Amino acid sequence: MLNSWRPKPGDKTFRPRRIRRYRLRRILGVPALFSAGYGDVGSSIYYALGIVAIVALGATPIVLAIAGIIYIFNALTYAEGGAMIPEAGGSASFARHGFNDAAGFVAGWALMLSYIVTMAISAYTIPPYLSYFWPILEQPAIGTVVSMGIILFLMLINVLGIRESSRINICFIGMDIATQVTLVVLGVVLILCVNPGVLLQNMFGEGNWPSTQNLIFGIAIAALCFTGVETVSQLAEETRQPAKKVPQAYILMIVAVLVLFAGISIVALSAMTPQLLGDPVAGWARDPVAGIAANLPSATLQSIFAPLVAVLAATILLTASNAGLMGISRLAFNLSSHHQLPATLGRVHHRFRTPYIAIILFCIVALLVLTPGFFATNFFADLGALYVFGSLLCFALAHAAILRLRVNQPELPRPFKLGWNVRLKGRELPITAILGLAATSTIWMVVVVTQAYSRWVGLIWMVAGLIIYYLYRRKEHLPLTHIPKKPGELG
């Protein structure tokens, strides 16, 4: 009889225990989530401010404020999605659950492009900051070679499985925030308070205000400044009490990011003209925070903060570039495990236990992305626009997926539920997600229409991905789309 069955000594090892071994450990708290997310956002301060200034000139603080509002919409949407679907994948997981596998792949493939460009642009920005110690790194060709070397170095250590310590990461982020806050305070006290008219002159003076087209594109490119939302979502599967701590990390990031970006941009335009800030050759476009340190009205303060900013910037940017590579490996594993990419990309090395094929392949792509740095004068701005192409597409799909889940699966548990809802046919739709979808979709279209480099490179990337997806699904005899069988069932 069934009731008389008793386990034998040999039955101790059973299937559930083996499955548990391969699950990601839930060990991260709010400080670790915040440091990982802010590692991306904080690093973007070191280059995105200059890219925005190339286009927006004196309107840089204004376009950053507008982009900051959109960032709030994005962070809130990811807070609801990350708490509701606590698994790695970010917008790719949201789109897969909200729509189908094809939509999830589109979001994941666009996100992969963003990660690749994050690696490239972070590595490309390290040499200008280190040129404080070695001036030869200011030369674009030399800087590009060094940037490629950084990518190869990160590829090697990620294949071998050497991981950064979250405690060291938190320590560096704390030092970085303290340095940025100090620069803002010193800039306000020593520059802005002494000459309050300099900011208005640099913003609205003759030749400092951008054209209407550049103002609109400036708002689009400013999305480059507000990264990090995907990073936190990717770590949801490794977070203790993700329903509670993921939203808390997002809210903390919103406050820190908006305050520091507002302060840094205002002080930068108080210390430099927009032309000097946005000049990628003779100015400070590639290392804007170093420009603030170099233009403090005190030789003593310059001697203190210039080397400090150089070291911290290089450290944070290296961390961000490595985080982009780690994000790619996580995402490739996630997509392959859901049969959206060939299993080869999720293959783990038998010795090092790392997804080595994905790491090597996408590092090679990042090297190709850096190649125009040898000869293209406007490469820096093009690189920023290419990042925006991928990230805004991800954000738009994330907003759309959260809205779709509100309509199709309203009964799903939502530990963090967005407020400010409108009712439509008995369904509650969050206003922030609606506005976020409208804003990110519109800005993405602006980038596609106005920026030839990001348009063609981005579209070629997406078409190539869709071809890979189609051939793989056909080979495996899988339908191109898949919708969960039961309403309310995730996975």
Rounded to two decimals, the pTM is 0.82
Q: Which tens digit of pLDDT belongs to each residue from 285-342? A: 888 999 999 988 888 999 999 999 999 888 888 888 887 887 787 788 888 888 898 8
Residue 163 lies in a domain: yes
In a domain, residue 485? The reply is no
In a domain? residue 480: no
Rounded CA separation 299/434 (Å):
50
Per-residue confidence band for 273, with pLDDT thresholds at 50, 70 and 90: very high
CATH number at residue 404: 1.20.1740.10
Single-letter code of the amino acid located at 169 = N
Does 164 map to a domain? yes
CB atoms within 10 A of CB 244: 13
The domain total for the chain is 1
Q: Of 276, 191, 209, whose CA–CA distance to 58 is shortest? A: 209
Flag whether 320 is in a domain: yes
Say if residue 151's pLDDT is above 80. yes
**In the predicted model, what is the mean pLDDT of residues 162-185?**
73
Question: Can you give the pLDDT at residue 202?
Answer: 92
Higher pLDDT pick, 459 / 71: 459
Of the CA atoms within 13 Å of residue 433, those in its CB half-sphere come to 25
Residue 381 counted as domain residue: yes
Has residue 128 been placed in a domain? yes
Mean pLDDT of the chain: 84
The per-residue pLDDT for range 358-384, each reduced to its tens digit, is 889 999 999 999 998 888 777 888 888
Q: What confidence score (pLDDT) does residue 164 get?
A: 47
**What is the pLDDT averaged over residues 102-120?**
92
Burial 221-230 (b: 16+ CB within 10 A, else e): bbbbbbbbbb
Question: What span, in angstroms and rounded, lies between the C-alpha atoms of 94 and 153?
Answer: 33
Distance (Å, whole) CA 99 – CA 62: 36
What's the confidence (pLDDT) of residue 15? Answer: 43
Q: Is residue 62 part of a domain?
A: yes
The percent of residues above 90 in pLDDT, for the chain, comes to 35
Q: What is the mean pLDDT of residues 465-481?
A: 92
Domain of residue 185 covers 31-475
